[in-house]
């Protein structure tokens, strides 16, 4: 019923390499970082660069070969918005010169955000609200991270991905499996900035609670407990087996976790795509970035059937099948 017709992404110009991190944290070698998380470098937004700026860049790349007047709705996924209000999607409509008689909204999700965005887009298309949806996943998580937080600085990078989703009656109408467990909220959280926790920014403070906090072991435990069942569930819901799937593309959290999941779910290595070495964990943008890189490398071809799975902060998770 829906097909991804265009994908583009944008990475900030500033690059933070493992060698750069080793200079700040001599106890961590650049090679140790690569072995631990599978990342060599990540792109970092500049001081005055926001998710809106990144989204403009990725969206303008999409519209180089697509008529922007076809867009009926903007879905903007971010957890680092420019403002509490107005929504970034509304500002983006104006910046891109899109029609005014379209819908536009932000939604706050992290690592599962791209899959949820596909579900929202399918709903909009199925209801007749639109036939062409611009889904943007844009994050500047690094702005949440304290300079002394070496663990999270090794993992996260900034990026924006813009995807056009269209109605297509020649592809399968696949179900989604979505899930939520808010009991894990405290294990990946930024307490500053909302109204629950007052704060005064002080560059000399400890990075919890005013900056991003992640309990890595708990996030890992959640992932290995929940995601294998999710993969079985989404295939069962759609009446498919592993042999029917050409590629499995998961949220690119870190290579250790992904390889563990691959072994646990018994997915063949040649069907399992990992690609975060030069971008890091870009949160909701990891899956579309991976898909675009697969296309550019000639790995992913039209007609392939792919299983997409996102999981993380919330806790939140989601999976679906798509004919590419």
Radius of gyration of the chain (CA): 19
Nearest Cα to 153, choosing from 64, 28, 272?
28
Nearest Cα to 162, choosing from 10, 317, 314?
10
Query: What are the Cα distances from residue 111, in Å, to 49, 85, 143, 175, 290?
Result: 21, 22, 17, 19, 14
Q: Confirm whether 251 is a catalytic residue.
A: yes
- Kind and range of the H or E element at 191? none
Of 152, 238, 254, 281, which one is the catalytic site residue? 281
Nearest Cα to 231, choosing from 205, 195, 208, 261?
261
Measured distance CA(129)–CA(72) in Å, rounded = 8
Q: Which two tokens stand for residue 217?
A: 């072991």
* Strand bridging mode 73-77 / 132-139: parallel
Of 43, 77, 111, 254, which one is the catalytic site residue? 111
Q: Phi first, then psi: what are they for 316, rounded to 5°?
A: -145, 140
- Dihedral, 65, 48, 285, 312 alpha carbons, nearest 10: -160
Residues in a beta bridge with 179: 317
Measured distance CA(294)–CA(274) in Å, rounded = 10
Q: Where are the alpha helices (DSSP H) in the chain?
A: 18-24, 30-37, 51-62, 88-96, 113-126, 150-155, 216-237, 255-265, 286-296
Asked whether 324 and 306 are in contact (CB, 8 A), the reply is yes
Q: Confirm whether 281 is a catalytic residue.
A: yes
DSSP annotation of 126 reads H
Active site residues: 111, 251, 281
């Amino acid at each position: 019923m829906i097909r991804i017709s265009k994908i583009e992404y944008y990475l900030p110009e500033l690059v933070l390499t493992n060698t750069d991190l080793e200079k700040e944290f001599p106890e961590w070698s650049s090679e140790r970082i690569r072995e631990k998380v599978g990342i060599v470098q990540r792109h970092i937004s500049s001081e005055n660069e926001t998710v809106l700026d990144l989204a403009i860049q990725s969206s303008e790349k999409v519209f180089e070969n697509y008529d922007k007047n076809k867009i009926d709705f903007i879905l903007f996924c971010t957890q680092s918005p420019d403002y509490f209000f107005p929504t970034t999607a509304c500002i983006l409509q104006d910046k891109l010169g899109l029609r005014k008689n379209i819908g536009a909204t932000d939604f706050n999700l992290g690592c599962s955000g791209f899959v949820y965005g596909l579900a929202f887009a399918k709903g909009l298309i199925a209801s007749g609200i639109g036939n062409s949806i611009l889904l943007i996943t844009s994050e500047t998580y690094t702005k949440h991270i304290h300079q002394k937080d070496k663990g999270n600085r090794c993992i996260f990078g900034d990026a924006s991905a813009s995807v056009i989703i269209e109605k297509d009656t020649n592809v399968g109408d696949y179900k989604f499996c979505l899930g939520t467990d808010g009991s894990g909220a405290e294990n990946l959280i930024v307490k500053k900035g909302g109204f629950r926790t007052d704060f005064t920014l002080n560059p000399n403070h400890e990075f919890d609670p005013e900056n991003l906090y992640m309990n890595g072991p708990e996030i890992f435990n959640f992932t290995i407990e929940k995601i294998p069942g999710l993969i079985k569930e989404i295939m069962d819901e759609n009446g498919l087996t592993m042999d029917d799937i050409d590629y499995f593309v998961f949220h690119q959290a870190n290579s250790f976790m992904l390889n563990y999941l691959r072994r646990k779910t018994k997915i063949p290595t040649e069907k399992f795509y990992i690609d975060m070495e030069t971008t890091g964990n870009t949160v909701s943008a990891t899956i579309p970035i991976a898909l675009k890189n697969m296309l550019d490398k000639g790995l992913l071809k039209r007609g392939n059937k792919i299983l997409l799975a996102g999981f993380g902060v919330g806790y939140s998770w989601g999976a679906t099948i798509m004919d590419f």
